[in-house]
Structure 1
Amino acid sequence: MSLPDTEAVTTPAQSTESRGAEPGKDGVQRRTSVRWRLFLLLLVLVAVNYIDRGSISVALPIIQKEFNLAPELVGLLLSAFFWTYALMQIPVGLLIDKFGPRKVMTASCVGWGAATAASGMAGGFLSMFIARLGIGVTEAGVMPAGGKLNAIWMHKSERGRGATILDAGAPLGAGLGGILIAGLIAATGSWRSSFVIAGAATVLMGLAVWWYVRDNPRQHRGVNAAEADYIEASHAAEDAEAEKEGSKGKRALLPYLKFRSFWAMCFGWLGFNGVFYGLLTWGPLYLAQAKGFDLKTIGWSTFVIFGAGFVGEILGGTIADKWRAAGASANRVMRTLLGISSVVVVGGLIGVTVVADPTTAVVLLSVVMFFLRWVGLFWSIPSILGGRTNAGVLGGAMNFSGNISGFVTPIAVGLIVGATGSYTWALLYFVGSAIIMGASVLTLNYNKRLPV
């Protein structure tokens, strides 16, 4: 991943006199690159989010034994987070559009850090279930706020990379979480202590967000006039194009429900999360029960699988932006990349169902995750369809749809495994989710803002 430290741009003379915007030796204005550093902070934040979110999956073989949980109760426990997380998406999206992403994201961090620490004090199934509900409520604002910041801070030509840098924190956190939580459990001798430590780290991340994130580039003391002008020029061009196409920029959700692209966005994210959350929640237990891995091997295998997803997501965003910059239409770029992603994911998951060798299964799951995470480009879609005004609520609607898979999938897999004693049909459930994803990414129109 290559992020520029400084970038050349010619701006009006008056802009060079403000906020440290000194011209270079060649007389060309050098704009700052605060927007990239801000998104690197968001990548770390989302990684911590997924370390906390997935910590229970890594510790689950121990928790299941300690609490004496049947597979059906394991599925219910894994789904608890997603119930409240999904239900909060649209309300929190409206709050982001009204109050700004900085306040909502900071409050999210502090709240979910406290809830994660509380989950380490659970005495049984019920108290752990309640703690996971609390984590779902408090984490809900992070991704929609990130989508809003992508609309506010990124030039139109950079939003593919912005979206995938943001969303790449998910596989990075899931991968690192496998090692970190397993390591903390081994070091402290307790899964409870590892949850408390993870919660404290999250509260510190909230303080970092408040310190560095701003709701407008010109509010950030590190942004010079050249960078602000560059971003605002892109906004002005988008607004002019939207006005020409009849978009009024009203802050609302209901008017979008009549458009095919809105539903394609929602179902695409639902299908994507049917695969991703299935592997995130049940993957470690699958490796333990179906492949005989111990805790240490589960940690490293999880790191390899989700680490491949991190690399794939960053690469996908870079390819998308560079292809667009070369003159390709948004529809051609997105439908081609995401169509390829869907085909590979379906084929790879079918392959996992028929291979017996544990190493081959990990390799195939790594390939699946590498291409699956290309769909992280979806975090640029709320700003494409709704502009800056409605990026928060559209991001919330998209994430609400995706997290329907979050609470359905763990329960469904638990019922399937409990009924069949095997993971084969669970993997085929993931195949069905990938097919829904594939149909949706090919249906969505990525070329213009919806006329709302």
Structure 2
Amino acid sequence: MSLQNTETEAHAFEGKAEEKAGKDGVQRRTGVRWRLFVLLLILVAVNYIDRGSISVALPIIQKEFNLAPELVGLLLSAFFWTYALMQIPVGLLIDKFGPRKVVTASCIGWGAATAASGLAGGFLSMFIARLGIGVAEAGVMPAGGKLNAIWMHKKERGRGATILDAGAPLGAGLGGILITWLIASTGSWRYSFIIAGAATVLMGLAVWWYVRDNPRNHKRVNDAEASYIEASHAEEDAEAKKDGVKGKRALLPYLKFRSFWAMCFGWLGFNGVFYGLLTWGPLYLAQAKHFNLNTIGWSTFVIFGAGFVGEILGGTIADKWRAAGASANKVMRTLLGISSIVVIGGLVGVTIVADPTTAVVLLSVVMFFLRWVGLFWSIPSILGGRTNSGVLGGAMNFSGNISGFVTPIVVGLIVGATGSYTWALLYFVGSAIIMGVSVLTLDYGKRLPV
């Protein structure tokens, strides 16, 4: 290589370095952490499209398989049985092997299981396929909580948590339109499930390509961004050491702390409402409000789309309020307390109104404020730090998904026994009350001394 070429390359490198530097000569931080969380948002959205696809197609599936309401509730709950049971084991795997490997394996496994559910010949085979989807999807959210602890500065974790979790209402909303469109385009709910499963496998490849377990290992992260994140880690570690935190990898020692149980019960109550609306919402609109398939799809999009907007806004408010100097407890208890009050009032309103459009509006308001509780995905890193954020995220999600498999069954029994959705909606009100008590009990201000 000639000296002239070498000098040219050196000048080009210097030019690029100058482009990344500010006017004061200080290198500007790259924004890889935000792009990574946008990828996670898309991943969680695909997760919920796959997870909620059966609810959208349920009016057709129920008729084809000739299912009673009680069997519908059992089928809707199948996913949550294995999903909940796998949360703590997969959280331990994430803390040991890192989130990248676990999320990639999850994507490939649940994509295959989703496609297999499109081949189901009846209740039993569909039930087994849903169990498989639950096993495979279990690692996604705890891994996201771990990545929030690894990649985000502590001042940004509110937004990190809600960007991650906002994929849930986004996927639920888009799923209503996409699945109904696929069913209409292909003429079969089966083909729509197979296509959704194939898309999920491709997402797994995207995750492996872009996600890293350490910001320093990512080719697009510059020194300024890595140092910014590491400075936050160092500050947290110093505070934890001062508070007597040992940093041992464990779960059982957390069981003696009130905040651990408040985290678990808060997520239990939250999911009692969210999963109830996710699994039974489309059928409620079809049977109680007499919507057709197309109207169900758009109504689902509006309701869960409001949740997506609310969640992103909630995370932004939380981080900006914290940056202005407010304490973590003031910010979280205020925002999540308001959320609980609005959700309870909105659900009570849905039980009273008869007009279908008003019901959709009220459910949209409920979902907008309910999704503020997505801030809970910052709590595993608050209570357990980077060391135990995976297993604490798994424990939290295990508790939440007890509601996942209980709620669809209970609602099925209620609807089957009463022929009405009124008491089912009041069940959701009870879940929201549990959520409200928990969010006001939890101490968001310090890491637990484990």
Query: TM-score normalised to the size of structure 2?
Result: 0.96
Q: Distance in 1 between matches of 2:24 and 2:254?
A: 48
Hey, what does 1:415 align to over in structure 2? Answer: 413
Compared with structure 1, are the counterparts of its residues 380 and 411 closer, same or farther at alpha carbon in structure 2 (3 Å cutoff)?
same
Amino acid at match of 1:275: V
**Residue 173 of structure 1: which of 167, 171, 174 is its match?**
171
Hey, what does 1:327 align to over in structure 2? Answer: 325
Q: Distance in 2 between matches of 1:20 and 1:51?
A: 43
Hey, what does 2:34 align to over in structure 1? Answer: 36
Hey, what does 1:282 align to over in structure 2? Answer: 280
What aligned pairs does 1:5-404 form with structure 2 within 5 A after superposition? 22-404=20-402
Amino acid at match of 1:426: A
Q: Alpha-carbon deviation of 1:25?
A: 3.6
Amino acid at match of 2:225: E
**Residue 446 of structure 1: which of 430, 433, 444 is its match?**
444
> Residue by residue, what CA displacement relative to the aligned partner does 1:270-325 show, whole Å, maximum 9, x if unpaired?
00000000000000000000000000000000000000000000000000000000
Amino acid at match of 1:45: L
> Are 1:96 and 1:104, in contact at CA under 8 Å, matched by a contact in 2?
yes
> Residue by residue, what CA displacement relative to the aligned partner does 1:360-394 show, whole Å, maximum 9, x if unpaired?
00000000000000000000000000000000000
Q: Distance in 1 between matches of 2:404 and 2:152?
A: 29
Q: Distance in 2 between matches of 1:126 and 1:22?
A: 58
**Residue 406 of structure 1: which of 404, 407, 425 is its match?**
404
Q: Alpha-carbon deviation of 1:29?
A: 1.8
Amino acid at match of 2:360: V
Q: Distance in 1 between matches of 2:419 and 2:446?
A: 48
Q: Distance in 2 between matches of 1:150 and 1:274?
A: 25
Q: Alpha-carbon deviation of 1:26?
A: 3.2
Larger radius of gyration: 2
Q: Secondary structure at the match of 1:30?
A: coil
> Residue by residue, what CA displacement relative to the aligned partner does 1:252-274 show, whole Å, maximum 9, x if unpaired?
00000000000000000000000
Q: Distance in 2 between matches of 1:31 and 1:338?
A: 32
Q: Secondary structure at the match of 2:447?
A: coil
Q: Distance in 1 between matches of 2:374 and 2:204?
A: 23
Amino acid at match of 2:217: Q
Q: Alpha-carbon deviation of 1:18?
A: 12
> Are 1:20 and 1:224, in contact at CA under 8 Å, matched by a contact in 2?
no
Q: Alpha-carbon deviation of 1:17?
A: 12
Amino acid at match of 1:421: G
Q: Alpha-carbon deviation of 1:237?
A: 0.2
Q: Alpha-carbon deviation of 1:36?
A: 0.1
Q: Distance in 2 between matches of 1:171 and 1:298?
A: 15
Q: Distance in 2 between matches of 1:17 and 1:227?
A: 19
Compared with structure 1, are the counterparts of its residues 61 and 439 closer, same or farther at alpha carbon in structure 2 (3 Å cutoff)?
same
Q: Distance in 2 between matches of 1:358 and 1:258?
A: 46
Hey, what does 1:10 align to over in structure 2? Answer: none
Hey, what does 1:12 align to over in structure 2? Answer: none
* Structure 1 moving runs of 4+ over 6 Å: 16-21
Q: Alpha-carbon deviation of 1:27?
A: 1.4
Q: Distance in 1 between matches of 2:401 and 2:18?
A: 44
Q: Distance in 2 between matches of 1:111 and 1:268?
A: 29
Q: Alpha-carbon deviation of 1:24?
A: 2.8
Query: TM-score normalised to the size of structure 1?
Result: 0.96
Amino acid at match of 1:301: S
Q: Distance in 2 between matches of 1:19 and 1:42?
A: 29
Amino acid at match of 2:412: G
Amino acid at match of 2:396: M
> Are 1:184 and 1:194, in contact at CA under 8 Å, matched by a contact in 2?
yes
> Are 1:268 and 1:441, in contact at CA under 8 Å, matched by a contact in 2?
yes
Compared with structure 1, are the counterparts of its residues 281 and 67 closer, same or farther at alpha carbon in structure 2 (3 Å cutoff)?
same
